[in-house]
Amino acid sequence: MKGLSLFLGCVIPNRYPGIEMATKLCLAKMDIDCVELKGASCCPAPGLFRSFDKASWLALAARNIVLSEEMDRDILTICNGCFSTLADANSILKNDTILREQTNGHLAKTGREFKGNIDIRHIIEYLYTEMGPDEIRNHVERPLNIRVAVHYGCHLLKPSRERGLGSFERPEFFDELVECLGATSVNYPDKNECCGAGGGVRSALKEDSLKLAKHKLSRIKDAGIDCIVNACPFCHMQFDTGQEEIRQITGIEYNIPILHYTQLLGLALGFSPRMLGINLNVITDNQFIEKIENGQ
């Protein structure tokens, strides 16, 4: 098994550095061979960039991949969108000779070449397939007695023929990774519904975007959960910042803590909420933090 290079993407370093810290703490605690991918750019984002200019999208994605090829390490992503772009670009360039030649023509101007000798991994996919719930359970120091609403996000599951992670209609792998930490993954209506942020919707159609988030937050609130857990910083931002935006527009307060999976994992591994940056969210719930720390 190759070592890993950590691809941080854009949203995490700029908006949610706690997720970056949580990820690095968890990888080190579990002795996973991973180093930061230096010099990386935006993936670039799959929803818009790919639709308007596929050649540039491929060239920029390929440059990121080549940086990790030069290290002889697979790329580890902690964002569904980054995973989608890099995994899809990697697959396209490995299998399409014409596009690979065209893209390498662009890369040659920077003295680089795509060779297609590494894989792109997502933190959830990697932990599930390479370690598995049972091994992760062995690392748990503080079992989490909480009720969790799992949000898979779109790009982790689709296109399902490419992802190879089981059923899109009824996925279970993320739920299993939550429950091996001692938490309960609570089923709720419209669980696989989009958060409403992707594809430029949050930027171009903010009101419609928040309507989608509001619908899902309402479903989750009614299920009686302690927090939402995601694996994508853009979904994270939509549910976190989006709650405050919805409150300002409608007066409705959900007050649901939002955690990236590495933050939830970090809590189970014994790190404090502050070390994992949970207190840096827009939505902070002291009662939730106390419940974790007291093991209630």
> What pLDDT, on a 0 to 100 scale, did the predictor assign at position 161?
65
**pLDDT value of residue 159:** 62
Q: Are residues 85 and 164 in the same domain?
A: no
Residue indicated by tokens 């991949």? 65
Domain boundary residue among 71, 92, 122?
122
Q: What is the pLDDT of residue 140?
A: 98
User: Do residues 117 and 163 share a domain?
Assistant: no
pLDDT value of position 286: 77
Determine, yes or no, domain membership for 205.
yes
Which are the contacts of 16, defined by CB distance < 8 A and separation ≥ 6?
233, 236, 237, 260, 277, 280, 281
- At residue 184, φ and ψ (nearest 5 deg) are -110, 125
CB environment 204-232: b (16+ within 10 A), e (fewer): eeeeebbebbbebbbebbeeebbbbbbbb
43, part of any domain: yes
Q: Indicate if 111 and 149 belong to the same structural domain.
A: no
Q: What CATH number has the domain bearing residue 29?
A: 1.20.1050.140
Same domain? For 203 and 117 the reply is no
User: What confidence tens digit (pLDDT) does each residue in 106-125 have?
Assistant: 999 999 999 999 999 999 99
Asked if residue 140 and residue 107 are part of one domain, the reply reads no
Q: Pick the closest to residue 232 from 138, 158, 130 (CA basis).
A: 158
The number of C-alpha atoms within 13 Å of 76 and in the hemisphere containing its C-beta is 23
Q: How many domains does the chain have?
A: 2
Output the CA torsion 17→21→23→25 (10° steps). Answer: 180
Residue 127 maps to a domain: no
Residue 128 lies in a domain: no
Do 252 and 138 lie in one domain? The reply is: yes
Q: What residues in the chain have per-residue pLDDT under 50? A: none
Q: What was the pLDDT predicted at 158?
A: 66
Range of the domain at 39: 4-122
Question: How many angstroms separate the CA atoms of 55 and 292, rounded?
Answer: 47
Same domain, 140 and 108: no
CATH number at residue 168: 3.40.50.11810
Both 73 and 168 in one domain: the answer is no
Question: What's the pLDDT at 9?
Answer: 95
